[in-house]
Chains A and B, each alone.
Chain A
């Protein structure tokens, strides 16, 4: 089943195209790794996929998009802000219900953030903020997650835990990754972007790591 389908799409900002002639399908149950040199258009593609998927997708953007003045709990809770009306949300802002706190804790625990639940997000380190952003996406519980460099600020060891937690919550995922080893380890399918076009789209089992070199070469 196709969750998102693109056919011959061209995407740009203010007239200058960034991505050309894109055709791809995101099928349910797949984990896709998006690879490419910086500036190749990975974030733009994810943005496009998000616009096509709408409410069916959860987003973990590259700049985290956290509200520094609110706590970790509130930032994660924002993943489900559309499930209640504003009065219910206001209650959660001022006086969180125990059930909500438990749900958020369940999401934070695999990411190692449960002891920071009421810390102000602005006071966390870069890696912690990134994990909060991932937690928010997990908490949302949508059908597909679109994550832009979800583990760029955490070390090798932790990044595997974080990806496991993220993919534990989502059967379908599109992850932009710069680490090829992680791409091979976690993805079913790898899509490579080069100069705004899809240069590679194949199941991981059919690929060798050296084949990715061509994607990054100038």
Chain B
């Protein structure tokens, strides 16, 4: 814990966190003004934006669900495990950028960008659920029964409620991802948000945000068993399938554009390739990776702080129903806002530096872990003579939740790392910045190289976090919601 704190302080001392806009408070004031009242009617095709956001999320997550389930069945193979780890290590936005080159601004881009990484995540979680099942019922089976029957009768029914709960959670994440894919040009909420922000129409911004929060907050109502097939059908019908144009571009992209430059040209030599590699690592990959590490470490430390500030807000140990209701609303809003969106807003207010990214990552993840820790305290029973108020916080609650909070935070570190790379699109020089530049310069070979590097970094951080948790003997079983 102290090591982490020291690392964070060192990273903070060397980070660029200046506010560079001319009059940040005035912009903030105008943003707040836009809330009173939000302008729902002025947003062009608000309904269409929501419909597309939901459609992409539904179909993408459903496809990932099925694919992930099938992968999970084969998780005993190391190849499958590695494959799943690799596809989920690349952020959805990176996948989207790649597919934009292959398929253009068509539905397939958005769907695959959601489905592929999510399939990897589903595979891992489903495999864990199946692995942690009680083996007793399987052992009590008659020896002649086939493996498929055994699976259908015993393992699947037991795992089903966990699958359902997790699928709903992933659908929520899918809505967030779908929304921010709009920043890349797809016709979802993010697209309209960017437009509204660019024009300074903050009342429209708030209209979009409120609709988005309402969508996520009511997910349990509209994402019900019988409604899903209908929504599915509707989603299939409204997506503009005619826009798919997989042509010569795609083939050239895969076979020529992404091959490193020195290897494509005439007289390709190993030394030229080596020089290219060295140049990439020295000028782009290393600074980008370092910045991403720096950002993720600072964000993790601040997330830790915010977790301990947030968790009492929804804990029955500290507040009654009314107070907890307010706490819940605050945390739900922070949890539902995608980090990318939060960083984007702060970027407009404060100008480019690491500050928007730090604050965005910390608020979002602090709300998530704070929520998990707060829920964890719900089952705590204290002695009748336990202290109240601040004493209760320091002497009874925090010492008891400390280890679990640490487990959640270490688990979240991998996610923070992933987002840190992507936030390079928004004014901070992490790897995402160099990827964005490479795509803009049509140097796809560099882009792919850097994306592959983020995947490697991600897998590294995941393994480190797992190792630390094992060393501290912290439980790695995270219950989602």
Beta-carbon contact of A69 and B400 below 8 Å: yes
How long is the Cα–Cα vector from A59 to B385 in the complex, in angstroms?
Answer: 7
Which of B86-94, B338-346, B388-396, B420-428 lies at the binding interface? B388-396
Contacts of A59 in B (CB 8 A): 383-385
**Distance to closest chain A CB from B472 (angstroms):** 13
Which of A26-34, A74-82, A174-182 lies at the binding interface? A74-82
**Distance to closest chain B CB from A49 (angstroms):** 11
Bitwise interface map of A from 72 to 109 toward B, beta carbon under 8 Å scored 1, else 0: 00100010011000100110010000000000000000
Interface flag for A197 (CB, 8 Å): no
Interface flag for A70 (CB, 8 Å): yes
Bitwise interface map of A from 41 to 64 toward B, beta carbon under 8 Å scored 1, else 0: 000000100110000001101000
Interface flag for B230 (CB, 8 Å): no
Contacts of B391 in A (CB 8 A): 81, 86, 89
- Are A89 and B394 CB-contacts (below 8 A) given A47-B384, A82-B387? yes
Interface flag for B237 (CB, 8 Å): no
Interface flag for A12 (CB, 8 Å): no
Contacts of A69 in B (CB 8 A): 399-400, 402-403
Q: Which of B358-408 contact A (CB under 8 A)?
A: 382-387, 389-391, 394-396, 399-400, 402-403
**Distance to closest chain A CB from B229 (angstroms):** 43
Contacts of B396 in A (CB 8 A): 67
Closest to A54 in B: B385
How long is the Cα–Cα vector from A78 to B385 in the complex, in angstroms?
Answer: 10
How long is the Cα–Cα vector from A93 to B403 in the complex, in angstroms?
Answer: 18
Interface flag for A65 (CB, 8 Å): yes
Contacts of B394 in A (CB 8 A): 86, 89-90, 93
How long is the Cα–Cα vector from A14 to B386 in the complex, in angstroms?
Answer: 23
Chain A CB count within 10 A is highest, among B391, B396, B400, for B391
Interface flag for A68 (CB, 8 Å): yes
Beta-carbon contact of B395 and A74 below 8 Å: yes
Q: Is the interface of A mostly helix, strand, loop or mixed?
A: helix
Contact of B395 among A47, A50, A68, A89 (CB under 8 A): A89
Beta-carbon contact of A67 and B384 below 8 Å: no
Bitwise interface map of B from 250 to 268 toward A, beta carbon under 8 Å scored 1, else 0: 0000000000000000000
Q: Which of B126-177 contact A (CB under 8 A)?
A: none
Chain A CB count within 10 A is highest, among B384, B385, B394, B400, for B385
Contacts of B395 in A (CB 8 A): 67, 70, 74, 78, 81, 89, 93
Contacts of A82 in B (CB 8 A): 387
Contacts of B382 in A (CB 8 A): 65
Beta-carbon contact of B400 and A65 below 8 Å: no
How long is the Cα–Cα vector from A59 to B391 in the complex, in angstroms?
Answer: 18
- Are A50 and B384 CB-contacts (below 8 A) given A81-B391, A86-B390, A90-B394? yes
Contacts of A90 in B (CB 8 A): 390, 394
How long is the Cα–Cα vector from A69 to B387 in the complex, in angstroms?
Answer: 17
- Are A68 and B400 CB-contacts (below 8 A) given A74-B395, A81-B395, A89-B394? yes
Beta-carbon contact of B387 and A67 below 8 Å: no
Beta-carbon contact of B390 and A50 below 8 Å: no
How long is the Cα–Cα vector from A74 to B395 in the complex, in angstroms?
Answer: 8
Contacts of A74 in B (CB 8 A): 395
Contacts of A81 in B (CB 8 A): 387, 391, 395
How long is the Cα–Cα vector from A65 to B382 in the complex, in angstroms?
Answer: 7
Beta-carbon contact of B387 and A78 below 8 Å: yes
How long is the Cα–Cα vector from A90 to B383 in the complex, in angstroms?
Answer: 20
Chain B CB count within 10 A is highest, among A47, A74, A93, for A93
How long is the Cα–Cα vector from A215 to B372 in the complex, in angstroms?
Answer: 48
Beta-carbon contact of A61 and B387 below 8 Å: no
How long is the Cα–Cα vector from A50 to B403 in the complex, in angstroms?
Answer: 32
Beta-carbon contact of B383 and A61 below 8 Å: yes
**Distance to closest chain B CB from A66 (angstroms):** 9
How long is the Cα–Cα vector from A65 to B395 in the complex, in angstroms?
Answer: 12
How long is the Cα–Cα vector from A40 to B183 in the complex, in angstroms?
Answer: 67
Bitwise interface map of A from 127 to 157 toward B, beta carbon under 8 Å scored 1, else 0: 0000000000000000000000000000000
Contacts of B383 in A (CB 8 A): 59, 61, 65
Closest to A94 in B: B394
Contacts of B385 in A (CB 8 A): 50, 58-59
Contacts of A93 in B (CB 8 A): 394-395
Chain B CB count within 10 A is highest, among A51, A59, A67, A89, for A67
Interchain Cβ contacts under 8 Å between A and B, 26 examples: A47-B384, A50-B384, A50-B385, A51-B384, A58-B385, A59-B384, A61-B383, A65-B382, A65-B386, A67-B396, A67-B399, A67-B400, A68-B399, A68-B400, A69-B402, A69-B403, A74-B395, A78-B387, A78-B395, A81-B387, A82-B387, A86-B390, A86-B391, A86-B394, A89-B391, A89-B395
The list of the 5 closest CB pairs from A to B, nearest first, reads: A65-B383, A86-B390, A69-B399, A81-B387, A59-B385
Interface set of A (CB-CB < 8 Å, partner B):
47, 50-51, 58-59, 61, 65, 67-70, 74, 78, 81-82, 86, 89-90, 93
6 new A-B contacts at CB < 8 Å, known A69-B400, A69-B402, A93-B394:
A50-B384, A65-B386, A67-B399, A74-B395, A81-B391, A86-B390
Interface set of B (CB-CB < 8 Å, partner A):
382-387, 389-391, 394-396, 399-400, 402-403
